[in-house]
A and B are shown apart, each in its own frame.
Chain A
């Protein structure tokens, strides 16, 4: 295999994986955009969704479609419930209160998952096979193709929602100024709940796809760690930013792992995105597409 073929392989894998990061980052961005809350439990959301799917599949012997629908509904309900029970009470409090609350939530969920569904790694099997699709010189695992397609679909869907629909415009209005949105008759709390429910949807999708690739156990929540470089690179509140950030992180970690791992014995994948993130923070603190603070002089 020639040099450029190796590179093309790393690149294609990075792009597909990156799109799947984008999908999970989207959940984070939705919540931050609408409610200003930073959700440190994003990875745990994904893990819980994975647990629900395998719970239905294995423990109850439910068919796959039912398990997927159940996970989707469960995560929407989870998002709604969480907003009502925990985050609504924190409105108007300092941002650090919300941050600490979600960090605490993450720890609780990491404990609760194995407690309810068991600590062993469970397979999440999807009927798509695992024979890689060969496209000389590339070979692509089918799950990555499915994952990337689903990600693109939902990124497009949410992008349309925010740009074109009236509800999406209202949600951006809430993000811009809660008080003014209230004065326009917008029920701000309802949009907060909607944002969390959307995060639930995204997490359910992520849980299925990542659960299939990694198996479902508590380590599935580590996917959430990749969300931070993605959103910092792209901008905390930008959907295009989530896509671009995801692609950059996916490509960087794959290329870095491909070229550096043989010399250092592995692990590059996990820290390379963070190195890029730190550099990005120094150069462009609000991300590539992040909301710039408009100041007229």
Chain B
């Protein structure tokens, strides 16, 4: 339903960041995009949401299609109207607005006033803690609450597809699991399609059905979550397991460094 075909992105006219990325996001599913820092995951999301231009980046080759239409030339507000909304990494709340005002701002494309109220109730349904903190300036919320708020705020736009960028960043493991459970719940209840960018590969692969691995601006591996979990390279480099499947220990003498099989 959402697909990238051989997308190339250049920043500032000279820096080549994506070198021909192709991937597909299946309707109603959770797809994950894994990879180390600087692999181009966030850039891929920004290429989809049209936010590259505000950072002097540009899709120079390839196309991005949503439904039957090309969206890689549209301004960001048109892309949000078509039902794709991006949640930035690093919990970018509107700090000086209250929790509830953040949600109202998230519903900006919603023309009908009443639907805004319903949307707020829906978000409070998923994240009851936000209701208690509704009148607090968002800058003073805790990290977990801020992450809930940015996801809830994105939900206010009634999206078909949510681009979720590293929701686990800097949060306690228990909170991360809570948030992932809610994302999964939203996916099932609203048939919300999710493209999840994560560094926490183990967790991402438990809730996703399909995954892509990026390195150096390219997709190097793709497959079902199950296949990726079993892949020896993924185990070694992303899940921290050795070939035997036991946890890696520094007591064991390492005879050789495993080379990534996907690099030639």
Contact = CB atoms under 8 A, between A and B. Distances in A.
B131 interface: no
B249 interface: no
A280 interface: no
Interface stretch (B61-69, B87-95, B122-130): B87-95
A172 interface: yes
Contact of B108 (A92, A166, A294, A296): A166
Nearest to A182: B76
A184 interface: yes
Interface of B: 49, 51, 54-56, 75-77, 80-81, 85-86, 88, 92, 94-97, 101-102, 104-109, 113, 116, 137, 139-140, 143, 153-154, 157
- Most chain A CB inside 10 Å of its own CB: which residue of B55, B77, B97: B77
17 contacts: A169-B101, A172-B96, A172-B101, A172-B105, A173-B97, A173-B102, A173-B108, A178-B54, A179-B54, A180-B94, A181-B105, A183-B80, A183-B85, A183-B88, A184-B154, A185-B108, A294-B137
Contacts of A170: 105, 108
Contacts of B85: 183-185
Contact of B81 (A166, A176, A185): A185
A184 B153 contact: yes
A181 B153 CA distance: 11
A76 B207 CA distance: 53
For chain B, what secondary structure do more than half of its interface residues adopt (helix, strand, loop), or is it mixed?
helix
A180 B108 contact: no
A169 B104 contact: yes
B40 to A, nearest CB: 18
A186 interface: yes
A296 B54 contact: no
Nearest to A180: B92
A291 interface: yes
Nearest to B56: A92
Contact of B77 (A172, A175, A187): A187
Contacts of A179: 51, 54-55, 88, 92
Given A166-B116, A169-B104, A172-B94, 14 more contacts: A166-B108, A172-B96, A183-B76, A183-B88, A184-B80, A184-B105, A184-B108, A184-B153, A185-B77, A185-B81, A185-B157, A186-B105, A294-B137, A294-B140
